[in-house]
């Protein structure tokens, strides 16, 4: 499978949080997503939602990390070695990030959000409204996830 897909960023993340703090402060980070001016009309009505999915390109992931196939979740060797696609980490064949963020407001082509774990300047690929349709009650997760978050 050698298909090429070309994506263009629709905007960029703007935050004053230093890169090294992003991972540890994810929940309280406030950031702006600055969209291309020509996409401003595409945002109309988005402010009626409280939360959004943000898909972004993790452009600072070293190329060798995209070649990994197994990792210890969060780099913790006390957790099992699992396939990269079974984790939410940055070591993935395509370094696409996904975050559910709280929408704090909109000003023209700029969305102010909370909870976006992306670096300043990160390209944004898409945003989608989060709604009750996306809620899954009692999802199944592996034991290592419970060890991390329980």
In whole angstroms, what is the distance from residue 99 CA to residue 90 CA? Answer: 12
Greater confidence (11 vs 26) lies with: 11
Residue appearing with tokens 């600055």: 34
Kindly report, residue by residue over 90-133, the tens digit of the pLDDT.
899 999 999 999 999 999 999 999 999 999 999 999 999 999 89
Please, which residues bridge with residue 82 across strands?
71
pTM: 0.90
Cα torsion 102, 103, 105, 110 to 10°: value is 120
Kindly report, residue by residue over 12-37, the tens digit of the pLDDT.
999 988 777 777 666 788 999 999 99
pLDDT at 1 over 70: no
Kindly report, residue by residue over 125-134, the tens digit of the pLDDT.
999 999 989 8
């Amino acid at each position: 499978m050698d298909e090429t897909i070309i994506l263009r960023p629709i905007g960029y993340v703007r935050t004053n949080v230093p890169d090294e703090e992003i991972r540890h402060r994810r929940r309280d980070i406030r950031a702006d997503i600055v969209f291309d001016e020509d996409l401003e009309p595409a945002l109309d009505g988005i402010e009626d939602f409280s939360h959004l999915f943000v898909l972004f390109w993790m452009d600072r992931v070293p190329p060798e990390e995209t070649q990994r196939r197994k990792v210890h979740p969060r780099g913790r060797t006390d957790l099992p070695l699992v396939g990269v696609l079974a984790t939410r980490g940055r070591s993935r064949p395509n370094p696409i990030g996904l975050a559910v963020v709280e929408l704090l407001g909109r000003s023209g082509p700029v969305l102010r959000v909370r909870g976006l774990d992306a670096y300043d300047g990160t390209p944004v690929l898409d945003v989608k409204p989060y709604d009750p349709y996306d809620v899954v009650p009692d999802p199944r997760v592996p034991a290592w996830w419970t060890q991390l978050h329980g």
